[in-house]
């Protein structure tokens, strides 16, 4: 091995080791409550969506190794801000209806689950029947119930 190659490999090893010192916060929290849905819909959501869109993330081994950990945790944090199934009942009913109504178009067009998530988690791939099930659940979004919205007193 040439001397320059040896020092390059040592340098890369030092950089990789130093990257591990920047930790990320991989937290799961208790939520306010999950959506009310059929057993079949909940199975689909838990299998294909909950790892990112809930407080019940399963952190794979690569979520502990930088720089992949930075990407995984960043993706989960962004996903939870957009939609967190664990906090579903805490959302105002209007937001629940809107979120539920968007699930079908997003899954039917394969924007979710993300392609690289499915490539690492093949069990999250949605079949045509599962897409139809989610589409039907999404279509019935106006059935979402909750306490009436409070109006400010004039």
Every domain of the chain and the residues it spans: 32-143
DSSP letter string, 82-136: H--TTBGGGS-HHHHHHHHHHHHHHHHTT-SS-HHHHHH-GGGPPPHHHHHHHHH
Q: Write down the pLDDT at residue 145.
A: 67
Q: How many residues can be counted in the chain?
A: 154
pLDDT in tens, 77-105: 999 999 999 999 999 999 999 999 999 89
Residue 50 Cα distances to 11, 23, 148, 149, 153, angstroms: 39, 23, 27, 27, 38
Q: How many CA atoms lie within 13 A of 132 on its CB side?
A: 3
Mean pLDDT to the nearest integer, 50-71? 90
Determine which of 1-10, 63-72, 79-88 has the lowest per-residue pLDDT on average: 1-10
Token duo for residue 76: 């989960």
CA distance 90 to 92: 6
Q: Environment class of residue 130 by beta-carbon count within 10 Å: exposed (0-12), middle (13-18) or buried (19+)?
A: middle
The first and second tokens of residue 105, run together, are 């178009």
- Predicted structure pTM score: 0.79
């Amino acid at each position: 091995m040439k001397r320059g190659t040896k020092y390059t490999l040592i340098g890369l090893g030092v950089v990789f080791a130093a990257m591990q010192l920047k930790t990320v916060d991989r937290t799961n929290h208790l939520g306010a409550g999950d959506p009310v849905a059929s057993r079949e819909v909940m199975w689909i959501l838990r299998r294909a969506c909950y790892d990112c869109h809930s407080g019940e993330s399963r952190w794979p081994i690569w979520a502990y190794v930088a720089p992949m950990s930075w990407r995984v945790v960043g993706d989960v944090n962004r996903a939870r801000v957009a939609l967190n199934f664990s906090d579903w009942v805490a959302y105002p009913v209007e937001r629940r209806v809107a979120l539920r109504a968007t699930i079908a178009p997003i899954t039917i067009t394969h924007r979710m689950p993300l392609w690289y998530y499915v490539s690492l988690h093949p069990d999250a791939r949605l079949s045509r029947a599962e897409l139809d099930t989610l589409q039907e659940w999404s279509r019935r979004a106006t059935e979402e119930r909750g306490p009436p919205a409070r109006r400010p007193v004039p």
